[in-house]
């Protein structure tokens, strides 16, 4: 992936303390140079990567050639309580038929009375049989503080929590529960541009699933941070193997071996991602030159229905096992390629040489309604693999630099590496996504797409039956 640097100085990255080492490794492999206070001027960098959120001033002072790896205000979907609140709002506004992919959730203590009502209703509806619930602290991650319960007397908490209906019939592989970590890149919120990575992770529990042992975290939670300390982590488990992870590719092979309706499952997962991000879009401010890599955790039940468990901000990028090595390095390579830096680098260099662009910062672009520099490259639509290439001719913007700071909201590339464009997915959604997103058209088109797909899958099923 190393690019030729013959015609330009290397791109420069800054990493905040705690950035996973794979990010540095990939950027160096791609020929970037690390920011050095002694060597570089204050704004002489192209990408600043942080695990935690940036400060408002970081966005305000952004230069046209600089990018950040977070959009502002993404917490609307990445905190457990905000996600529950936002999805509930969307359910209320657009109907529970559409927003039926997240388990019913209550934010306690505020929703305690509502939870009590739901608990009683479920209890009676089940003829006294147990309904299972899961309690999660709102601001913790990696499975910390989570427990599953049946009886309300076991619900004990001393900080705000989300209590969610527990999916008690998960799809199992050889008796083991698992969930999927789907990597999503929001390249822009205005217009909304979503890519889903084809590769991802399957994260297994390391002990067999059983509803008789609710307090066994190694059977009920699929977090690696928990299972790597489980007694059976290194055991060669039937089908699952050693450790607790598969790549999504391996999972696809498994689905094929089971004759499952894979296409429908992925489309449902795409829908979950789009509908969740549509919930976040209204609050996301205009933020050119930011990207966001999110980790969507999806659990599949025994009826093959995918459920959204949560959306992770700065998903873990540590390399703990072979599956991590396969997935995460390629993911970061593709993410950097998706940013398509070839034009921006030239802008930084000339900005520094001529000082012409130095004052055209993000906030000024906003105030003067000057179109910002979008991350969307000029290109022709189609399934072309977009690779950053420093040896590409840059004549279009070298001839007319001013044009560069004008936006050119064209069709984003359909595929960059293993990142697949999932929104917008046709002319109508492209048009609807620009400026003030027309959510209703987005829903309408998603609905149409799903109907097409369902018809296609039915046809395929019928043909298969005829052939059998
Ligand atoms: P964290 O941010 O702490 O990882 P999650 O919401 O991802 O919190 O939950 C941790 C794990 O608990 C998940 O990976 C999954 O295995 C399990 N889990 C969470 N919510 C549910 C649910 N509603 N039904 C079944 N299992 C769940």
Is the CB of residue 182 less than 8 Å from the CB of residue 265?
no
Angle, helices 439-467 vs 262-280, to 10°: value is: 170
pLDDT digits (tens, 9 = 90+) for 43-63: 999 999 999 999 999 998 898
Instruction: Please give the torsion angle defined by the CA atoms of residues 273, 275, 279 and 280, in that order, rounded to the nearest 10 degrees.
Output: 30
- Would you call 421 helix, strand, or coil by DSSP? strand
Say how many Å lie between the CA of residue 453 and the centre of ligand 1: 29
Q: Which of 309, 311, 314 to mutate to test the pocket of ligand 1 (most atoms within 8 A of CB)?
A: 309
Q: Which of 223, 307, 313 to mutate to test the pocket of ligand 1 (most atoms within 8 A of CB)?
A: 223
Mean pLDDT taken over the chain:
84
Q: Please give the residue that has the higher pLDDT: either 348 or 403.
A: 348
87 lines ligand 1 (CB under 6 A): no
221 lines ligand 1 (CB under 6 A): yes
Most confident of 4-13, 15-24, 446-455: 15-24
Supply 390's token pair.
């420093």
Instruction: Please give the torsion angle defined by the CA atoms of residues 248, 249, 252 and 254, in that order, rounded to the nearest 10 degrees.
Output: -100
- Looking at residue 152, what DSSP letter applies? G
84 lines ligand 1 (CB under 6 A): no
Distance CA(153)–CA(116), nearest Å, equals 11
Residue 68 CB neighbours (<10 A): 22
% the chain with pLDDT above 90: 60
- Would you call 292 helix, strand, or coil by DSSP? strand
Ligand 1 atom closest to 312 (CA): 2
| Whether the predicted pLDDT of 385 surpasses 50 | no
Amino acid 435: pLDDT: 66
> For residue 348, what pLDDT band results from cuts at 50, 70 and 90?
low
% the chain with pLDDT above 70: 83
Amino acid 391: pLDDT: 35
Nearest residue CA, atom 27 of ligand 1?
166
Nearest residue CA, atom 21 of ligand 1?
166
Q: Please give the residue that has the higher pLDDT: either 182 or 373.
A: 182
10 lines ligand 1 (CB under 6 A): no
pLDDT digits (tens, 9 = 90+) for 60-117: 889 888 999 999 888 789 999 999 999 999 999 998 889 999 999 999 999 999 999 9
Ligand 1 atom closest to 177 (CA): 16
Ligand 1 atom closest to 167 (CA): 24
| Whether the predicted pLDDT of 131 surpasses 50 | yes
Q: Please give the residue that has the higher pLDDT: either 298 or 391.
A: 298
Say which residue the tokens 């199992």 belong to: 172
Nearest residue CA, atom 11 of ligand 1?
221
309 lines ligand 1 (CB under 6 A): yes
Q: What mean pLDDT do residues 352-366 have?
A: 42
Supply 347's token pair.
């802008």
Say which residue the tokens 């503080």 belong to: 145
Distance CA(401)–CA(28), nearest Å, equals 28
pLDDT digits (tens, 9 = 90+) for 241-294: 999 999 999 999 999 998 888 888 999 999 999 999 999 887 777 787 899 999
Distance CA(345)–CA(354), nearest Å, equals 14
Taking CA 200 as the corner, what is the angle to CA 195 and CA 204, rounded to the nearest 5 degrees?
A: 145
Distance CA(423)–CA(186), nearest Å, equals 10
Ligand 1 atom closest to 220 (CA): 16
Distance CA(251)–CA(202), nearest Å, equals 7
| Whether the predicted pLDDT of 341 surpasses 50 | yes
316 lines ligand 1 (CB under 6 A): no
């Amino acid at each position: 992936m190393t690019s030729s640097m013959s015609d330009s100085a290397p791109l420069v990255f800054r990493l905040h303390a705690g950035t996973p080492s794979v990010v540095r490794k990939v950027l160096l492999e791609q020929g970037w140079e690390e920011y050095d206070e002694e060597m570089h001027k204050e704004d002489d960098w192209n990408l600043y990567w942080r695990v935690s959120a940036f400060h408002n001033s970081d966005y305000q002072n952004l230069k046209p050639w600089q990018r950040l790896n977070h959009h502002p205000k993404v917490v609307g979907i990445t905190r457990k309580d905000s996600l529950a609140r936002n999805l509930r709002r969307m359910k209320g506004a657009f109907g529970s038929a559409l927003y039926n992919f997240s388990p019913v959730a209550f934010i306690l203590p505020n929703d305690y009375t509502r939870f009590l009502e739901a608990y009683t209703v479920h209890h009676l509806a089940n003829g006294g049989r147990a309904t299972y619930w899961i309690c999660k602290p709102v601001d913790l991650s990696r499975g910390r503080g989570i427990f599953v319960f049946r009886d309300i007397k076991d619900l004990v908490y001393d900080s705000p929590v989300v209590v969610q209906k527990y999916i008690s019939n998960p799809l199992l592989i050889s008796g083991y529960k698992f969930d999927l970590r789907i990597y999503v890149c929001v390249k822009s919120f205005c217009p909304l541009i979503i890519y889903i990575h084809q590769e991802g992770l399957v994260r297994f529990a390391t002990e067999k699933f059983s509803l008789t042992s609710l307090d066994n975290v190694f059977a009920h939670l699929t977090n690696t941070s928990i299972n790597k300390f489980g007694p059976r982590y290194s055991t060669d488990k039937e089908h699952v193997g050693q450790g607790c992870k598969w790549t999504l590719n391996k999972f696809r092979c498994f689905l094929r071996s089971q004759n499952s309706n894979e296409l429908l499952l992925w489309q449902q997962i795409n829908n979950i991602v789009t509908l969740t991000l549509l919930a976040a879009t209204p609050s996301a401010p205009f933020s050119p030159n930011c990207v966001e890599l999110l980790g969507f955790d999806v659990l599949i039940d025994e009826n093959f229905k995918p459920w959204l468990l949560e959306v992770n901000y700065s998903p873990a990028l540590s390399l703990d096992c072979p599956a991590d090595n396969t997935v995460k390095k390629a993911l970061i390579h593709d993410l950097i390629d998706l940013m398509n830096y070839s034009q921006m680098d030239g802008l930084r260099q000339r900005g520094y040489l001529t000082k012409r662009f130095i004052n055209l910062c993000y906030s000024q672009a906003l105030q003067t309604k000057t179109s910002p520099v979008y991350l969307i490259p000029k290109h022709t639509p189609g399934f072309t693999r977009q690779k950053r290439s420093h040896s590409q001719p840059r004549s279009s913007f070298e001839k007319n630099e001013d044009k560069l700071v004008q936006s050119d909201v064209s069709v984003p590339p359909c595929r960059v590496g293993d990142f697949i464009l999932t929104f917008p997915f046709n002319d109508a959604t492209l048009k609807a996504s620009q400026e003030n997103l027309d959510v209703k058209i987005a829903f309408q088109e998603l609905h149409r797409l799903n109907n097409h797909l369902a018809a296609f899958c039915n046809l395929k099923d019928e043909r298969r039956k005829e052939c059998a």
